[in-house]
Amino acid sequence: MLPLSPSTISSSSLDTKDAESAKTIGSPESLSPDEAARDCDSYLPFEIPGAVLLTAPSISVLRQAANDVCNRINSDTSYSNQFIIVSNISQPLQEQLGGDRNPLEVPYRLTLDAQRQQVVIRIMPSGAHERLTQSFTGELIEKLLDMGIRPRAYTLNAATRYQGRTCAKEADQSLTPSRDTFSDNEWPSLVIETGLSESEAQLRADVYWWFSNSDYQVNVVILFHIQRSPERRVTIKLYSLRPTTPRITRGLNAEAQRTLLSNPPLPQADSSIVLRHSEVHEIIITSRDVQNAPLELEFESVMRRHPAPNTREKNITFTAEDLAVCCSHVFLES
């Protein structure tokens, strides 16, 4: 294994003793909600606790760091960091990371700010993460087929990169309803993100990014949080943002930020934006049971149209049994 270069600052070396001299980013309490909201807006999230920091790395150094993070996550359930933050990234390395091939040799998702030469890499820890996303997506396809909706009526975008105001971002999976005319800039209606439960704060910030940068074309974001200790479980959180006015003002935008960043969410009774936040109706799956099912997706939010009359089209419902099957890979993995 190649040693890290002097230009590299890392919080995830293989030896625990190195952690004392490693530089980490802040603590979960280091940002106020207002500061976090500004971070979301500018986007790149350089306040991720425990993230690995790299400065102007070579591809070999970055690959080593990615494999280090992946190996530690898969060998130590107490290790929870998924993120590598890279500053001063070279143009050739940006192109390698954003290309069709995988230069890091482990699964990852990319957030890239080319102008500032900054990158956030989220390492996908194990096959269970990928299989959970794929299993849920497959169940969604089956339910749409049962309604008579064929795959030609939508596209599944997997890790397609979407360009926001200041940076580009990939989801684990997303769905875009088909239209008569297609634009390269078309945003999905539904986004799925899967991560360790310890990454929840960052995934919550990602939720706002999808809503805001798409100008609220993204209607639904589903977060799957995998907790590995002391007991394995999956927590599902559903975010659904539905504007009831045709124009999103700066004030409403700020209100949506505060709602996503507060815990519990702020009251929305008099708001012109209705933000349904599934922390109010949290779904928890363990190897023994499923609490607070079902998970229901509004048909109109997903397909961007009303259900057709006299058809089987309706809201998309995932029962407790459906969710247990989708999450079974998490509990089977050693």
**Nearest CA-CA partner of 308 in 152, 141, 153:** 153
pLDDT band at 53 (very low <50, low <70, confident <90, very high): very high
In the chain, what is the straight-line distance between the N-terminal and C-terminal CA atoms, in Å?
26
Summarize the confidence of residues 170-190 as an average pLDDT: 85
Answer with the residue of higher pLDDT: 202 or 2: 202
**Nearest CA-CA partner of 244 in 261, 256, 259:** 256
pLDDT band at 79 (very low <50, low <70, confident <90, very high): confident
* Model confidence at 251: pLDDT above 80: no
Other C-beta atoms closer than 10 Å to the C-beta of 152 total 7
What's the confidence (pLDDT) of residue 25?
A: 24
Summarize the confidence of residues 167-184 as an average pLDDT: 84
Answer with the residue of higher pLDDT: 63 or 201: 63
What's the confidence (pLDDT) of residue 252?
A: 55
* Model confidence at 42: pLDDT above 50: no
Distance CA 235, CA 244 (A): 29
In terms of average pLDDT, the best of 56-65, 72-81, 206-215, 269-278 is 56-65
Summarize the confidence of residues 24-30 as an average pLDDT: 28
The rounded mean pLDDT for the chain is 78
Lowest-confidence range among 89-93, 190-194, 266-270, 273-277? 266-270
